Amino acid sequence: MGRFHRHDDGTEHSHEHGDQPDHQHGDHSGYTTGSQRIEVLEAIFAENDVRAEVNRKAFESNGIRALNLMSSPGSGKTTILAATLEELAGDIAVGVVEGDIATDLDAAKLGGRGAQISLLNTNSGFGGECHLDAPMVNRALAGLELTTLDLVIVENVGNLVCPAEFDIGEHAKAMVYSVTEGEDKPLKYPVMFRSVDLVLINKIDLVPHLDADVDTYIAHVRQVNPTATILAVSARTGEGMSAWFDWLRTFAQNR
């Protein structure tokens, strides 16, 4: 693996040293004779971001608001979504992009609730992509009749790391964080927790059975994200869900 070292300007770097014991740190000129250095200075997600902008324009030209819903596996995203589609049916026209590595189990769970569902399996890459990116969502939009919709919810792949990095053209990001996951998750996965506008703390009906304290969960979210809306809910009992529905209605109408 590469070797790491620090420069005077506070940066560090690493590279393979191979069979070059004389190689001088800090002087990379003449690294490969005859080669030409090209300044690039391009964000690694630039291509994704261009495609995300295409999605965003597609949403906006149809008067649609788009929400990127993320979480770890098993947090209750799909259960929350099922209750949400039932609540909004006949009121707000919802389309769901359902990201799943291999199955259509979630898409089947969400069917029959008045929403359009576009399933997006991600298992074409190296054993299944761990996130949705903008080009994938773009393909999934072909499965929705955009002109008829008010709100698109993209249910991302269950994962607390990768989805946070990819703009998919959404107008807001939300995540589900269940009390069974442990109170330390915001500190362990700060990038996702910092990226969201809303955190739903789910499964609060289980609090009496756990060594859990919702206030500590909220405090840990606040530590990495001082501005997000935080709502404590139970998708199973319905407790707190009306605040989430209100948030979503306001979001959907804010176009």
Partner 1 sequence: MHELSLCQAIAGVVQTHAAGRRVDVVRVQVGALRQVVPESLSFCWTLVRDQADMPGAELELEFVTAEVECRGCGRQSQIASRFSVCCPRCDSADVAVLRGEEFLVTSIEVTEDVTEDVTEDVR
Site for partner 1 in 184-213 (CB under 8 A): 187-191, 194
- The structure tokens listed for 224 are 């990495």
102 binds partner 1 (CB under 8 A): no
Binder among 40, 90, 147, 254 for partner 1 (CB under 8 A): 40
27 binds partner 1 (CB under 8 A): no
Give whichever of 22 and 90 is closer to partner 1, judged by the CB atom.
22
Interacting residues of 221 by C-beta distance below 8 A, sequence separation 6+: 177, 186, 193, 199, 201, 228, 230
Binder among 31, 50, 86, 209 for partner 1 (CB under 8 A): 31
Give whichever of 130 and 214 is closer to partner 1, judged by the CB atom.
130
User: From CA 36, how far away is CA 25, in angstroms rounded?
Assistant: 19
**Interface stretch with partner 1, choices 67-75, 175-183, 198-206, 223-231 (CB under 8 A):** 223-231
Give whichever of 194 and 236 is closer to partner 1, judged by the CB atom.
194
Binder among 15, 25, 57, 139 for partner 1 (CB under 8 A): 15
Return contacts of 216-220, CB within 8 angstroms, 24+ apart.
Answer: 216/183, 217/177, 217/179, 217/183, 220/183, 220/184, 220/185, 220/186, 220/187
SS3 146: helix
CB atoms within 10 A of CB 40: 6
Q: Contact residues for partner 1 (CB under 8 A)?
A: 1-2, 4, 10-16, 28, 31-32, 34-48, 125-127, 129-131, 133, 161-162, 164-165, 187-191, 194, 222-226
